[in-house]
Amino acid sequence: MWTNPREEADERSPEARGPMMGQVAELWRYPVSSMAGEQLTVARVEAGGIAGDRIWGVLDEATGRIASPGREKHFIGVPRAHARIADGGVAVSVDGRSWAGPEDASMREALSTIFGFKPMLTPFDPVGSGGFRPRYEHAPIHLLTTAALRSLSRELPDSVIDTRRFRPNILVDWQDEDDAMPEKDWIGREIRIGDVVLRGTRPCGRCGFITIEQDRLPVDVEILRRVVQRHGRDFGIYCDVVIPGHVTTGATVVVA
């Protein structure tokens, strides 16, 4: 959907043209941090983000280090595995077809083969009682626009610019504007999606994760280089949840 530009942007300032509108193009959650996620048609948005999003993590069993594929080559194979919510719990897969629980011995062995290390999958500590803490607890929702993706695609015509590289929770179909990344102007604003209200809080800083091979996407170091040059490393924004509720694909997005 995001590959098809919408009507030309209104040249007036946001204050002059009033509320700005788009729609939800895609919804994603990533039950296991750093693994490929699952695309949804409806998502329950809670105070801490989309239900089931980034609730488990991957560690190297030998060292106890949490997987950080964008910063350590040791973990570069983790995004090749898949995770989803099934029957109320987390299920993982090496190929997106055969699934098992994260503690299944045969699945852990299969994951070891593609990861290059023996993984330990563990749930994050939701209450901060000294257990394993998520890296993204400061950022309940990650939002990105199709306008930003189209802009990057125009600048890198030989690259595969795909939503999955950037791992947003919500991809908003938005018309092109003068600014290549219009959502950066949504920081501090309320973003209403049906009965859900978000507030933009900060830009999403990028690392090498967006360049590595993942979920049938090739290695491409030029993508991070261009994001750094064009946007100072930021691409998309983080949002807090002001009013929880449900979001569906196709829902109208209104930015105050």
**Domain spans in the chain, listed from the N-terminal domain onward:** 14-255
Res. 19 pLDDT band, cuts 50 70 90 = confident
Q: What is the mean pLDDT of residues 6-21?
A: 54
Rounded-to-integer distance, Cα 237 and Cα 226, Å: 17
**Helix, strand or coil for residue 51?**
coil
Task: Report whether pLDDT(15) > 60.
Answer: no
226 DSSP 8-state letter: H
Domain 14-255 = CATH 3.30.230.10: no
| Total-model pTM | 0.89
Query: Which of 1-15, 135-149, 170-184 has maximum average pLDDT?
Result: 170-184
Task: Report whether pLDDT(216) > 50.
Answer: yes
Res. 88 pLDDT band, cuts 50 70 90 = confident
Instruction: Give how far Cα 87 sits from Cα of 26, 101, 164, Å.
Output: 23, 11, 24
Question: Do 34 and 75 meet the contact criterion of CB atoms below 8 Å apart?
Answer: yes
Rounded-to-integer distance, Cα 78 and Cα 209, Å: 11
Q: What residue type is assigned to position 216 of the chain? A: R
Task: Report whether pLDDT(48) > 50.
Answer: yes
**Which among 219, 228, 208, 212 is positioned nearest to 155, based on CA atoms?**
228
14 DSSP 8-state letter: H
Question: Do 183 and 148 meet the contact criterion of CB atoms below 8 Å apart?
Answer: yes
Sequence-distant (6+) residues with CB within 8 A of 107 are 92, 93, 94, 100, 101
Q: What is the mean pLDDT of residues 205-227?
A: 94
Rounded-to-integer distance, Cα 79 and Cα 207, Å: 14
